[in-house]
């Protein structure tokens, strides 16, 4: 599931009073020119000195670098976020989320439910079967 679909599903499950997702989960651009501005900000602070020289270089601790790049487990925060609401979605909202994730092809559509016919009971009794057996097959 893509992040956009997940975000859209979470928006549907939001209580009516709250309009936006928490700032940690919200990610977006300020406008159409924000991407260009971000690119310019990244490119601007370049120094012209040679990075290969030793002079003025600070020795970095390998352990500190490892801890910086170590993946952070967000399970606890995510569980708290998911469990704090305990909002049960309406049936219509759940159907809307499922419809968004479903494709348009016929193979993606759920099969139509057909009512199963209950097997009808027989109108003949055991005595009728014995009588038929005697008449037809001649068994006494």
Q: Where are the domains of the chain?
A: 3-108
For the stretch 68-111, pLDDT in tens is 888 889 999 999 988 887 777 889 998 888 888 888 888 888 88
Q: Which residue shows structure tokens 């924000």?
A: 34
Whether the per-residue pLDDT at 25 is higher than 60: the answer is no
In this predicted structure, what is the pLDDT of residue 16? 67
User: How many Å apart are CA 128 and CA 61, to the nearest integer?
Assistant: 95
Of the ranges 40-44, 56-60, 73-77, 114-118, the best mean pLDDT one: 73-77
Lowest-confidence region among 5-14, 23-32, 124-133 = 23-32
Local confidence band at 23 (pLDDT 50, 70, 90 cut-offs): low
Are 140 and 134 in contact by the 8 Å Cβ rule? The answer is: yes
Question: What is the structure's pLDDT at 92?
Answer: 92
Give the number of residues written for the chain.
140
Over the stretch 53-77, which tens digit does the pLDDT of each residue have? 677 777 788 888 888 888 889 999 9
- Among 27, 28, 26, 24, residue whose Cα is nearest residue 80: 24
Whole-angstrom Cα distance, residue 30 to residue 79? 29
């Amino acid at each position: 599931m893509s992040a956009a679909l997940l975000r859209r599903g979470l928006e549907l499950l939001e209580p009516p009073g709250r309009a936006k997702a928490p700032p940690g989960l919200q990610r977006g651009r300020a406008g159409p020119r924000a991407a260009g501005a971000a690119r310019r900000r990244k490119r601007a602070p370049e120094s012209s000195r040679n990075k290969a020289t030793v002079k003025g270089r600070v020795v970095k601790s390998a352990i500190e670098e490892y801890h910086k790049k170590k993946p952070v487990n967000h399970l606890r925060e995510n569980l708290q976020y998911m469990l704090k609401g305990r909002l049960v979605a309406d049936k219509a909202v759940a159907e809307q989320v499922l419809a968004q994730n479903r494709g348009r092809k016929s193979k993606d559509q759920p099969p139509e439910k057909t009512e199963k016919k209950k097997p009808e009971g027989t109108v003949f009794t055991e005595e009728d079967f014995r009588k038929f057996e005697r008449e037809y097959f001649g068994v006494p």
